[in-house]
Amino acid sequence: MYLYHFSMLLVTLLAVVAVAGATPAVPRAATAMYNPDLFQGDIKGIAGQEPGKERAAILGEQYLWPGGVVPYVFGNSVNSYERSLIISAMDDFHARTCIRFVERTSQSNYIEIVSNDSGCWSYVGTIGGKQRVSLDSNGCMYKGTVIHELMHAIGFYHEHCRNDRDYYVTIHYENVQAGMESQFNKDTYWQYVGEGYNYESIMHYGTYAFSVQWGVAKTIVPTDPNVILTEAYDKLQMAQSDANQINNLYRNQCSF
């Protein structure tokens, strides 16, 4: 009897240790945004740049949406709940910036928002004609994620890839998945639009982006020890600095 109880106790202890030592699962919201085959994880292409050569591009006025107006259509895959969520994300732009998303009528340049493609991604700037914004139903239907992808569509890159980022974060390449190191390349020829680095930017990735061990091996660590990075999908609105940068970038396009 004693041996039986001892054996059961040992099994229980081993189970607890196994659970405690298990690697946390990567959230689907993260894998949907951190696509290994896309530039910086969720950029399908960049206006005026040849695919595969998107590094450090500067967007000219010709790659912004004229008048700050972005026509859009929903693909047939987008259900009523998803439409409401996406429109609420657009409302964040409407309330705080000069950008206006409008339902397409006959405009030749517009975005098509779909939910049945793989992952969360967008092009940066207007590429001409119909351009897709992918908001996969499985992982991308978060207000913060939608705002993030729409900011790409109007011309923005990632905050953690700014040329001045090394003053604010350390990239631990030893913890980055093999072959994914280039996802953290800095935008050498970036365009400054009036705001300093902001950890709270909706365009900033979280601590474990492209990590070899999610929840354990950190890849993006703030130089300020008091800062805790938050994933875009956990945010409900853009930062004020994001809104300011949008208005600064579109100062020649919008009528304030």
172 is in an annotated binding site: no
- CA distances to 10, 32, 186, 206, 218 from 171, rounded to whole Å, are 41, 21, 11, 11, 9
**Torsion angle of C-alpha atoms 121, 123, 124, 130, degrees rounded to 10:** -140
Average pLDDT, the chain: 86
- Is a pLDDT exceeding 80 seen at residue 41? yes
Other C-beta atoms within 10 Å of 240: how many?
A: 13
Question: Which CATH code fits 28-250?
Answer: 3.40.390.10
- CA distances to 1, 134, 156, 168, 215 from 162, rounded to whole Å, are 66, 24, 11, 10, 24
238 Cβ contact list (under 8 Å, min separation 6) = 92, 93, 96, 147, 151, 201, 202
94 is in an annotated binding site: no
Chain segment 198-219, per-residue pLDDT in tens:
999 999 999 999 999 999 999 9
- Is a pLDDT exceeding 60 seen at residue 10? no
204 is in an annotated binding site: no
- Is a pLDDT exceeding 50 seen at residue 6? no
Q: What is the pLDDT of residue 52?
A: 46
- The 3-state secondary structure of the chain, one letter per residue: CHHHHHHHHHHHHHHHHHHHHCCCCCCHHHHHHCCCCCECCCEEEECCCCCCCCCCCCCCHHHCCHHHEEEEEECCCCCHHHHHHHHHHHHHHHHHCCCEEEECCCCCCEEEEECCCCCEEEEECCCCCEEEEEECCCCCCCHHHHHHHHHHHCCCCCHHHCCCHHHCEEECHHHECCCCHHHHCCCCCCCCCCCCCCCCCCCCCCCCCCECCCCCCCCEEECCCCCCCCCHHHCCCCCHHHHHHHHHHCCCCCCC
Instruction: Give percent of the chain with pLDDT exceeding 90.
Output: 64
Q: What is the pLDDT of residue 23?
A: 67
- Spot the catalytic one: 149, 159, 174, 181: 149
User: Does residue 174 carry a catalytic annotation?
Assistant: no
